Structure 1
C-alpha cells in the first residue's frame, strides 16, 4: 500500500509547478514555453505535472484564479473602510501608480498576462473565463461610480458602465506601453487619473 500524501504536501508541489511555469512563461513567452520546459525548470517528471494539471492553459488559469481571489479580497476589504466614492477611485489608480517598474519579474508576468489574454481569443471557453473575471472588476468600479453619483460626488449624467470600461482601458493601455524603454509611465498615468476624475466630477 503506497504511503498517503498530505494535502499540505500536494499543495506545496502544486505551487512549485506553478512557480516554475510562470518563470518559463515569462522567459520564453506563453505560446513558446512547453510542458517540457516546465519539467526541466521544476525538476518534476512530466507525469507528476500532469497529475496536477492537464495543460499549460490550466496552469495559468490556476494562477489567474488565485491572483483574482487575492485582488478581490484586498480591494473589497479596502473599499469597506473608504468612506467616499472618490477615495475608492483614487485608491484603484494609486495601486498602479505605486507599482515598481524596475521589478523585472513583475514586468515579465505582466507581459504573460496580456499574451495569455490574446491567446484566449482563439479559445471560446478560456475567453469566457477571462471575461467573467473582467466583468467582476467592471462591476466593481461601476458600483463605485454609481455610489458617487448618488452622494453628489460625481456627475449624474455620465454612464457608470462606460466609465468603468474606460478605467480598465486606461490601465490595460498603459501597462502595454511599459515594454517600451523610456515610456513615462507615472507621468502619463497621473495625467490620465486627473483627467478621468475631473470628468467624473463635471
Structure 2
C-alpha cells in the first residue's frame, strides 16, 4: 500500500518546486530554463515535479498566481488604511517607486516577467489567462480607487475608471520595461513625473 501523503506535505513540496523554478527563471530567463534545471536546483526527481505541474508554463502561472495573491493582500490591507482615493493612489505609485528595476535584486525578475508576457502572446490559452488576471486584479483595483475618488468629489466624474486604470498600468509597465532595457534609465524621476501628470488629469 502506498504511504498516505498529507496535504501539508504536498503543499510544502509544491512551494519547494515554485521556489526552485523562481530561482532558475530569474537566473536564466523563462524560455532558456528547463524542467531539468528545476530538477537540479530542487533536488527532486522530474517525476515528482510532474506530479504537481504538467508543464513549465503551469509552473510559471502558479508563480504569478502566488505573486498576485501576495500583492493583493498587501495592497488591500495598505489601501484600506488610507482615507482618500488620492492617498491610495499615492501608496500604489510609491510601492512601484520602491521596486526600481535598476536594482539588481529586481532586474532579473522584471525581465522574466516581460519575457513570459511576450511568450504568452503566441499561446491563446496563456494569453487569455494573463488577460483575465490583469482585468480581475489590476484593472479592478485601480478602477475601484478612481470610482471612490469620483464619488468623494476628488476626481472628475466624466472620466471612465476602466480607461484610466488601463492608462495607469500602461504607465507603470512602460517605465518598468524601459528601465530593464535602457542603461542608466531614470526610472524614479520619470515615474514621479508621470504620477504628477496622471493625478492632475484625474483631479476635479
**Which TM-score applies when normalising by structure 2?**
0.92
1:77 maps to which residue? 77
In structure 2, what is the Cα distance between the partners aligned to 1:134 and 1:101? 20
2:52 maps to which residue? 52
SS at the partner of 1:178?
A: helix
1:190 to 179, 189, 192: 192
Instruction: Please report how far the alpha carbon of residue 105 of structure 1 lies from its aligned counterpart in structure 2 after TM superposition.
Output: 3.4
CA distance change for structure 1 residues 119 and 102 in 2, over 3 Å: closer, same or farther? closer
1:139 maps to which residue? 140
In structure 2, what is the Cα distance between the partners aligned to 1:114 and 1:193? 22
SS at the partner of 1:2?
A: coil
Instruction: Please report how far the alpha carbon of residue 78 of structure 1 lies from its aligned counterpart in structure 2 after TM superposition.
Output: 2.2
1:167 equivalenced with 2:181 (yes/no): no
**Which TM-score applies when normalising by structure 1?**
0.93
Question: Cα RMSD (Å) of the superposition?
Answer: 1.6
In structure 2, what is the Cα distance between the partners aligned to 1:187 and 1:100? 11
SS at the partner of 1:182?
A: coil
Aligned pair count reads 202
Instruction: Please report how far the alpha carbon of residue 103 of structure 1 lies from its aligned counterpart in structure 2 after TM superposition.
Output: 4.4
SS at the partner of 1:14?
A: helix
1:125 equivalenced with 2:161 (yes/no): no
Instruction: Please report how far the alpha carbon of residue 168 of structure 1 lies from its aligned counterpart in structure 2 after TM superposition.
Output: 0.1
1:99 maps to which residue? 99
1:153 maps to which residue? 154
* Contact 2:139 2:166 (8 Å CA) reproduced: yes
In structure 1, what is the Cα distance between the partners aligned to 2:107 and 2:82? 29
In structure 2, what is the Cα distance between the partners aligned to 1:102 and 1:187? 13
1:31 equivalenced with 2:2 (yes/no): no
In structure 1, what is the Cα distance between the partners aligned to 2:101 and 2:64? 21
Once the two structures are superposed, residues 79-112 of structure 1 have per-residue CA deviations (whole angstroms, 9 ceiling, x without a partner) of: 2222111111111101101225564233211111
Gaps of 5+ in 1: none
